[in-house]
Structure 1
């Protein structure tokens, strides 16, 4: 087409049939799935913290991490089963392992991690089978990174624009949020050994901020769902709480009040981040623009 020529047919504008959504709303429920996302990340990062603390000789911090991992993983399974409606549906997902399905792989991460974390804590609390308990805790710590991030892969592998468009950043966002929340647990539960936990909290917050900033810059139109409505309000609150918690963690070594404020802020921030991501995905499905326009831009 030469300069000065006019299009005989105007460029097509976005539309969908009667303005209806192109995709169906996710059937996952609130608060079950946001809780499942948050608790699973907390459990994985806490287990990794416990393993590292054990190797470094921080006994109380290690015990706090193992307990948080067991409670978080068990509660995460409970939230997932409640969302599914029947325990048999969760067991059905374990009948086969399908490597190409994030849901199948995630189920096979969640189930053994929960069992191992619970076995490790049961051994520690009862004093029975200490060798097996230590082996279970170590194995759970090895699985922990996958436990921390698989839910991000699970979301981004769907067609939901608010999740799929952020597929590169969501695992890092969830990992940073989980690490900061595990650090928060360490600061609250093991004040005498909170140095490594404080460093975890600050490092996790930094990773979370970097991933969020990168996501805002890259995902284009779909970024609107993270800036407006209920999801936007919760997202901004999560960012503010993360900044507050990370800042307080820098002074928490000499001030117990700062440690408590940091721990509570980072815990609330991690839960709010998961809810904001979940709600942003649902909002992106309601408006067909977020489905059609990015596809046309790629084409």
Structure 2
């Protein structure tokens, strides 16, 4: 359910006329939970594939296990993620229709082909890796390694293109922070991929590699925190601060994404990395689980809070004022 319209808050509150305080914009037509789940899985899968390619190039101890786990996680996008996307479209035919053309000016068209490129190259990488273990099919391994580069590049795009797509709409909360939202989504994708890989390494008793992944996750969470602060500062500057006071803003963005998904894992990972390896395993696992939960809450929370600003005419009309337009260079 979308939050009901209420008074706008912030430094640029709109005091002009409205049409009886009725919404001037429509909320997004998609299911925020389903699409938020897709954005989460796509980001995790893309970042995992990117990390797998980097690990295979750097070749640290235990790199083969991390690379194979990353390749396995990359299948979340073409399987569960694509399934959620098609489910929200209600029919596979709509998804197929998006493949009929390519528009370089359409974020949705670009995103569709990014997903297809990532799915194809990731499936090729995984298939070559597994089939290459068969004695008569080892010639497939070089083909799999060649597919890693396009998979990693498209994976990086997969983790951020959804922010560009949202920012290209008229929904105020999304359109207000195109760069910060992309950085936030990208950093969250890397952090969630590191969390999933760390949990897999802990389960395999490869604790040294898990600590390295926790260190990388800590850095990504720091970037996400900075991007979150930039988003909030921009929202308040253009009069969208009331979105943070909605149920979705309080529970999903502040409680889920910022507190559980960012602040808590930063504290847990920092404490775990400072502690002896044997005493850090529980904190590492808790931090990884919190990161995954917060990453999902971030996507759903941004979608829900964005719809709330679309339903508030004073926020949508206030954001459309000339003072909030991009500066001419």
TM-score w.r.t. the length of structure 1 is: 0.91
Greater relative CO (CA pairs within 8 A, separation 6+)? 2
**Would the aligned equivalents of 1:61 and 1:194 in 2 still touch at CA under 8 Å?**
no
Superposed CA RMSD in Å reads: 1.7
Count matched residues: 288
Counterpart CA distance in 1 for 2:272 and 2:128 is: 32
Q: Match of 2:65, SS?
A: helix
Q: CA deviation at 1:246?
A: 2.2
Q: Point out where structure 1 has 5 or more consecutive residues left out of the alignment.
A: 1-11
TM-score w.r.t. the length of structure 2 is: 0.83
Counterpart CA distance in 1 for 2:100 and 2:29 is: 23
The equivalent of 1:224 in structure 2 is: 242
Counterpart CA distance in 2 for 1:251 and 1:118 is: 38
1:111 equivalent in alignment to 2:155? no
- Within the candidate set 259, 276, 290, 1:240 is matched to 259
Counterpart CA distance in 2 for 1:126 and 1:261 is: 35
How far does the alpha carbon of each residue in 1:206-261 deviate from its partner, in whole angstroms, 9 at most, with x for none?
11110111111123211321343223221112211221112222344512212211
- Within the candidate set 238, 243, 261, 2:286 is matched to 261
The equivalent of 2:56 in structure 1 is: 54
Q: CA deviation at 1:297?
A: 5.4
Moved over 4 A (4+): none
1:287 equivalent in alignment to 2:287? no
The equivalent of 1:95 in structure 2 is: 100
Counterpart CA distance in 2 for 1:229 and 1:163 is: 17
Q: CA deviation at 1:98?
A: 0.5
Q: Point out where structure 2 has 5 or more consecutive residues left out of the alignment.
A: 1-13, 325-329
Which residues in structure 2 correspond to 1:135-284 (within 5 Å)?
135-191=146-202, 192=206, 193-219=209-235, 220=237, 221-237=239-255, 238-241=257-260, 242-252=262-272, 254=277, 255-284=280-309
**Would the aligned equivalents of 1:182 and 1:197 in 2 still touch at CA under 8 Å?**
no
Counterpart CA distance in 2 for 1:174 and 1:164 is: 14
